[in-house]
Amino acid sequence: MDKSPVTPPVKKRFFYGYPIVIVSFFTLMIVYGVLYSYGVFMKPIVNELGWTRATTSGAYSLGMIVTGYLFMVTGQFNDVIGPRRLITICGFLLGAGCLLMSLVQAAWQLYVFWGLIIGTGVSGGIVPITSTVARWFIKKRGLMTGLALAGIGFSQVAFPPLITLSITAYGWRTAFAIFGGFVLVALISLAQLLRRDPQTMGQHPDGESTPKPESTAQVTGFLLGEALFSRQLWLMCAAYFSHGYFLNSALVHIVPHATDLGIPALTASSIMGFIGGLSIVGRIGIGSASDRVGNRPTLIASFILTTVSLLWLQVARELWMLYLFAVLFGIAYGGEIALLSPTVARLFGLTAHGSILGIVFFFTSLGGALGPLLAGKIFDLTGTYYASFWVSTALAAAGVMFMVMLKPTHHSAIL
């Protein structure tokens, strides 16, 4: 009896999408460790140089405007050249900006070093990274995006207390110098491991042996010009303008607010850690839930939870109450940010994903620029942050409305 030769099984290649997620986690951890450290540095800078909180917050706001505008550029560059060269340049700027911050003597230097140089460096963060992850995964896009974005939450857990200890031990200038050297080396090294999409490695999304129909459909999504005339894009922009406003108002001013209530600086900085730690839960948990129940329902739930947390902040006067705010707010904002890139991919496909995502993040950054500046001005006028908390609450409620109005495009059968 003839025996047919047995074909040995083909060994499946290791899928490079998983290292992409790991590198993305650490890249975002460092980029946003820089950005969200500003609230920890703010009071020491104000105390030494004698500036108002509005003046000092203004540099952060300028940085958000610069970052937001450049998100549209870096998103487009990522569509074309990929993240490796892009994040190498931005990592150099972030590290150099932190080193220069240790030399600040005048307000104009603060605005140049933080607002322009660090603001430009941050633009190499969330848009190129989440757009890259979206290209590597389809079936688990929400989960994998959430895992990558958990790096931002981890930065809020780890960096504020470390920076506070460094400031206490060495002063804020030396702390900036140490931080800058670390950022420079780490980000440039991590950038060399990034690749734009599976095709550059001879692979397919999700590690499939052959491309799936849904993969082809999403790659052939909206062109940028087509998306600009879509109502859904502008609803996303409006919702995430609100998100940027209340998020950055809280992240810049929650530590000074807590110390104003008599809470010690190191303990106050731990509130940022709570926000960051619970945002990890939100990013991963809500991101994973969106893969099962859809992006729109989970976004609505996230904005509702944000609104509740900001209402609670109005009455929070003790440390445990601020911790409870941090838990609710962290979970909610973590979900909102985790779902942005997957929702854009679901609505508009991947053809111009980075460019479209960059536009939404531009509006996020506009809100992020206005929020801390207005909160600082309100504090200078009233001596408290409570009126600014009401503004944030109203915008979070508006975000719920925008998400309710969001509908699938002709490209996406479900949302």
Hey, what are 338's tokens?
């985790």
Helix (H) or strand (E) holding 148: helix 141-170
Q: Tell me whether residue 168 is in a domain.
A: yes
First to last CA, the chain: 57
Residue given tokens 């060495």 in the structure block: 170
What pLDDT was estimated at residue 4?
A: 44
Q: Tell me whether residue 11 is in a domain.
A: no
Hey, what are 58's tokens?
């203004």
What pLDDT was estimated at residue 414?
A: 60
CA gap 60, 45 in Å, rounded: 13
Q: Could you read off the pLDDT of 363-388 as tens digits, one per residue?
A: 998 898 888 888 888 888 888 888 88
Residue given tokens 């490695």 in the structure block: 201
Q: Tell me whether residue 6 is in a domain.
A: no
Read off the amino acid at residue 244.
Answer: G
What pLDDT was estimated at residue 212?
A: 59
pLDDT surpassing 50 at residue 7 = no
Number of domains in the chain: 1
Q: How far is CA 297 from the centre of its chain?
A: 21
Q: Tell me whether residue 7 is in a domain.
A: no
Q: Could you read off the pLDDT of 211-246 as tens digits, one per residue?
A: 655 545 455 677 878 888 888 999 999 999 999 999
Are 180 and 55 in contact by the 8 Å Cβ rule? The answer is no
Q: Could you read off the pLDDT of 102-134 as tens digits, one per residue?
A: 999 999 999 999 999 999 999 988 889 988 998
Annotate 200-213 with b (16+ C-beta within 10 A) or e (fewer).
Answer: eeebbbbbeeeeee
Mean pLDDT, range 345-371, rounded to an integer: 86
Closest CA to 126 of 273, 277, 223, 24: 24
What pLDDT was estimated at residue 245?
A: 93
Residue given tokens 């309100």 in the structure block: 378
Residue-level length of the chain:
415
Q: Tell me whether residue 58 is in a domain.
A: yes
Q: Could you read off the pLDDT of 285-337 as tens digits, one per residue?
A: 888 888 888 888 999 999 999 999 999 998 888 899 999 999 999 999 889 98
Q: Tell me whether residue 1 is in a domain.
A: no
Mean pLDDT, range 11-26, rounded to an integer: 88
What pLDDT was estimated at residue 2?
A: 42
Are 410 and 232 in contact by the 8 Å Cβ rule? The answer is no
What pLDDT was estimated at residue 400?
A: 94
Mean pLDDT, the chain, integer: 86
Helix (H) or strand (E) holding 239: helix 231-260
Read off the amino acid at residue 245.
Answer: Y
Check residues 188 and 361 and name the one with the higher pLDDT.
Answer: 188
What pLDDT was estimated at residue 211?
A: 61
Hey, what are 208's tokens?
């499939």
With a CB cutoff of 8 Å and minimum separation 6, the contacts of 157 are 273, 276, 277, 280
In three-state secondary structure terms, 406 is coil
Give the CATH number, domain containing residue 238: 1.20.1250.20
Check residues 351 and 7 and name the one with the higher pLDDT.
Answer: 351
CA gap 146, 176 in Å, rounded: 29
Q: Tell me whether residue 162 is in a domain.
A: yes
pLDDT surpassing 90 at residue 138 = no
Range of the domain at 134: 17-204+215-405
Q: Tell me whether residue 395 is in a domain.
A: yes
Helix (H) or strand (E) holding 144: helix 141-170
